[in-house]
Amino acid sequence: ELLSKPIRYGYMNGIALTVLISQLPKLFGFSIDGGGPVRDVTQIISAVVRHAHALAREVDLKPDEWMAAIQFLTRVGQTCDDKRQEFILLSDTLGISMLVVRLEQARRSRDTKGATEATVQGPFYWPGAPELPLGSDIAKGMPGEPAHYSGRVSDTHGQPIANCCVDVWSGDGEGVYDMQKEGDAGMQLRARFYTDAEGRYRFWSIKPTFYPVPDDGPVGDMLRAMGRHPNRPGHIHMMVYGDGYVPLTTHLFASDSPYLDSDAVFGVRDSLIVRYEKHAPGMAPDGRAMDKPFHSASYDFALAAA
Ligand code: BEZ
Ligand code: FE
């Protein structure tokens, strides 16, 4: 009798919820593999409950606000299909994807000191890009200003890593990825290069421009409601991997791009910002004769031992 009826029911609901949560792994038969020992999902969901309750108390959540949040999450789910993953976009724009990337990079390396920083993979990675000889141009016929990329891949002690894969992808010079184009454009602006005996890589592509993350769904509505823009600064994606090293998924960001200080998915690290040097038409660093202005960008990657 110390408890009023609603509180009693609330209390019983709480117990029922706790029992239900503790049974989830058995009900659904899943556990979460965090890369180390297999973790019990109960531990993680219990933390979700703890933080969600603290959140509701902190903002003094009203029933209609909670219903609006449920409807928002419902729309996020309904926007997903085999080409679009709105939940990942939500995670990206809330900064959770980037946090998870940073936690993983720190966890996986015995020694991350000196390793190139990782950033989000994004939704436009397409495995199996063509393997091309060093120096190839992957931007033929694409809109955009030509850019020559070069550098070296080494370990964290500066020793070159030969035969290391540099898997590259980007949007075109208007910020559009092949996967976003109408019809079946096939792979564009993607390739895998293997470093030479000195760990060097080089190729031609375009200088990337800023572009918006897909903002025609509920995540776009959320950004607008918060007064946030949907743009990412100009960047080129790289996945760098070799035997015995922790694979690196990262980008290079153009130092003169807008939105470097307000990336919609929080992916920018100062160490990944690169200057694109602009050149008048003429002889490029690799001897190629260029009949229009072009850029060159140089960046050295360091991989941590696995
Ligand atoms: C991208 O860089 O490709 C990207 C990352 C996160 C969300 C949308 C796009
Ligand atoms: Fe991108």
Name the helix (H) or strand (E) containing 21.
helix 5-28
Residue 26: per-residue pLDDT: 54
Distance 234 CA to ligand 2 centre (A): 8
- Residue 258 clears pLDDT 90, i.e. is over it: yes
Distance 191 CA to ligand 2 centre (A): 15
Q: For residue range 158-174, what is the model confidence (pLDDT) as tens digits? A: 999 999 999 999 999 99
- Residue 8 clears pLDDT 50, i.e. is over it: no
Check: CB of residue 167 under 8 Å from CB of residue 153: no
Check: CB of residue 179 under 8 Å from CB of residue 188: no
**CA 280 from centroid of its chain's CA atoms:** 34
- Residue 267 clears pLDDT 50, i.e. is over it: yes
Share of the chain above pLDDT 90, in %: 78
Residue 86, ligand 1, Cβ within 6 A: no
The identity of residue 100, as a single letter, is V
Residues 45-53 have a mean pLDDT of 97
* 305 φ, ψ (degrees, to nearest 5): -65, 145
Residue 120, ligand 1, Cβ within 6 A: yes
Spatial distance between the Cα atoms of 124 and 89, rounded to a whole number of angstroms: 12
240: its two tokens: 């760098």
Residue 24: per-residue pLDDT: 55
Residue 215, ligand 1, Cβ within 6 A: no
Q: For residue range 196-250, what is the model confidence (pLDDT) as tens digits? A: 999 999 999 999 999 999 999 999 999 999 999 999 999 999 999 999 999 999 9
